Structure 1
Amino acid sequence: MSIAVAVVLLVTAACGNGQSIDRGPLPDGVAIHVDQSRIERKGREVFLRVHNDAGRSITVTSFTLTSPRFATVRWSGTETIGPTFETDLEFDMPRGRCGSALDARLQLTYRMGSGDLRTSTVDVEDPYGNAAYVVDRDCAQETLEKAATVTVGTPTVAARDGGPVLSLPITLAPTGDVAGVRLTGFASTTLFRQAGPTRLDVRLDPGDPPTTVQMSVVPARCDPHALAEDKVGTLFGVEVSGPGLPENASYFLPLTRAQRAALFGFFRDRCGMT
């Protein structure tokens, strides 16, 4: 038997056993990227978007996603995407590690039309930086919490020029374990804007004393529909600088249900919705 015939028989046998064939790059017209929906920002659900402009259907049966920034993701199922359509394959992002680029690599198993299973291994882009933001957020939180114990106190409302302002006391007690970490500010949200300083420089080096800062906010808008449909209005960014952190790194201030309820109650009162 010739070598060429033997190779053909082996490939045919593999197809007959339902095994995939490594076919290199994705077919022309199939594009994939990783992203996160805005309404999922408070969680960890992200997705792999598969866009099919190849002229025939593509059926995805599994994928493996790897990156130096998070543990390997494995997905399996059956998703068929017709020509000119796209589908999101959702998964929970593993806890992120500190680092630089996402450098995600995808191994996709699929079939085109009624063809044989095949596998392609490609780099996968994060065009809007949303997947990287999830792991950067993990890194910022881990870095700050290594440097200091963070305690969020009870919200209070007090009158200032222009009307009532809600303040949250945030105490940071350095652990003595890490040097060079700073709390550098707080970010506004879709519902609330910062009414106090947004740029800070709170040192959290070993030997530094505990520091309490006030995050003060007022409604950014008085829109009943915005409040009713809100998903991210109490996700206040805590901005952190330190060794190994990307520029403008931040994570979401951890709030209890009672603290969030106080924020929503203040919003309604200040906007005359009660």
Structure 2
Amino acid sequence: MMRALALVCSATLLLGLTACTGELPKLVPLPDGVSLLSDQTRLHRKDREIFVRIHNKSDKALRIEAFTLMSDRIPDVKWTGSEDIPPGTEADLEYDMPKAGCGTGFTPTVRLTYRVGDGERQESDAQADDRYGNISHAMDRDCAETTLEEAAHVEVGDPTIVGKGGDSVLHLPVTMTPTGNRDDVRFGGFGSTVLFNQAEGSPADVDIPLVKDPVRLVMQVTPARCDGHALADDKVGRLFDVKVLGDDVGDNASFYLPLTTPQRVTFFDFYRSHCGLD
């Protein structure tokens, strides 16, 4: 047994890896002037791409080779690659956010593997705070969506247009059928977007238990403004919040109402016809 262990250790040493001492490489402090933060761009609100931004305000170049991001709200994320960051610049290292659990905030620890200039590879732990709260909001959406899925089946019907021209209103039927698995979850209402406002009569601010009978709702919207450029450049105008209330759901937690491509097209067609942009 001792001889076998020695052979394993010898092979490990030949590969240039850690010797069989049972000790991991020691972590070193992050170089002065280097800092991290986490964020998500507005263009990626519909998907799960987020990033760690590394600011290099030191006087030496950095080469990032890997990182492991650790948080109590998502499984560990591992990134590998090669990213050079000259002095006085920054770089964004993107990754897809795993499904997040319920919780509060997002304060991950990032174990960074890097080189300073032509130096040896080294590792440091640093926090990559969600400075602007964008990722925390995305995680709260995961929490809200999972919570509502546990409490009810959501079915979105076909949108219809009621009225004509500037007096028209788009109606979208939504049915929530309780599963019986939870008795603490309530529907809190639909949110407006940069393109559409919730119209009078729409369930925008409610507190409806999802316990027994199906809840049949009609979301009603009108354009928030008539602007052809806003419509042409839109990225998030059809992301309607579904507010969820529950014991383990954060304040103002919501997720985006799932819409099919034909449903989304109908919203755009309605905008054009209501505003006379055809």
Same-fold call, TM cutoff 0.5: yes
Q: Quote how far apart the aligned CAs of 1:162 are.
A: 6.2
User: Is 1:142 paired with 2:146?
Assistant: yes
Distance (Å, rounded) in 1 between the aligned partners of 2:165 and 2:264: 24
Distance (Å, rounded) in 1 between the aligned partners of 2:40 and 2:143: 18
Other-structure match for 2:265: 261
Q: Secondary structure at the match of 1:226?
A: helix
Choose from 190, 195, 210 the match for 2:194: 190
Verify the 8 A CA contact 2:165 2:276 in the aligned structure 1: no
Q: Quote how far apart the aligned CAs of 1:123 are.
A: 2.3
Other-structure match for 1:56: 60
- Percent of aligned pairs with the same amino acid: 47
Q: Quote how far apart the aligned CAs of 1:234 are.
A: 0.6
User: Is 1:95 paired with 2:99?
Assistant: yes
One-letter amino acid of the counterpart of residue 47, structure 1: F
Q: Quote how far apart the aligned CAs of 1:102 are.
A: 2.5
Distance (Å, rounded) in 1 between the aligned partners of 2:164 and 2:267: 17
Verify the 8 A CA contact 1:21 1:117 in the aligned structure 2: no
Verify the 8 A CA contact 1:18 1:117 in the aligned structure 2: no
Verify the 8 A CA contact 2:176 2:215 in the aligned structure 1: yes
Distance (Å, rounded) in 2 between the aligned partners of 1:225 and 1:161: 19
Other-structure match for 2:30: 26
Q: Secondary structure at the match of 1:71?
A: coil
One-letter amino acid of the counterpart of residue 204, structure 2: T
Distance (Å, rounded) in 1 between the aligned partners of 2:26 and 2:243: 44
Choose from 203, 208, 218 the match for 1:202: 208
Other-structure match for 1:121: 125
Give the alignment of 1:212-227 within 5 angstroms. Answer: 212-227=216-231
Verify the 8 A CA contact 2:183 2:210 in the aligned structure 1: yes
Query: 4+ runs of 1 displaced by more than 3 Å?
Result: 16-23
Other-structure match for 1:246: 250
TM-score, normalized by length of structure 2? 0.88
Q: Secondary structure at the match of 1:180?
A: coil
Q: Quote how far apart the aligned CAs of 1:22 are.
A: 3.7
Give a deviation string over 1:244-271, Cα, whole Å, max 9, x none. 1111100000111111010011011112
Distance (Å, rounded) in 2 between the aligned partners of 1:70 and 1:160: 47
TM-score, normalized by length of structure 1? 0.89
Verify the 8 A CA contact 2:115 2:122 in the aligned structure 1: yes
Give a deviation string over 1:108-135, Cα, whole Å, max 9, x none. 0011111111100122211111112222
Other-structure match for 1:107: 111
One-letter amino acid of the counterpart of residue 72, structure 1: D
The total of aligned residue pairs comes to 258
Distance (Å, rounded) in 1 between the aligned partners of 2:249 and 2:152: 16
Verify the 8 A CA contact 2:48 2:96 in the aligned structure 1: yes
Structure 1 residues without counterparts, runs of 5 or longer: 1-13
User: Is 1:153 paired with 2:154?
Assistant: no
Verify the 8 A CA contact 1:36 1:46 in the aligned structure 2: yes
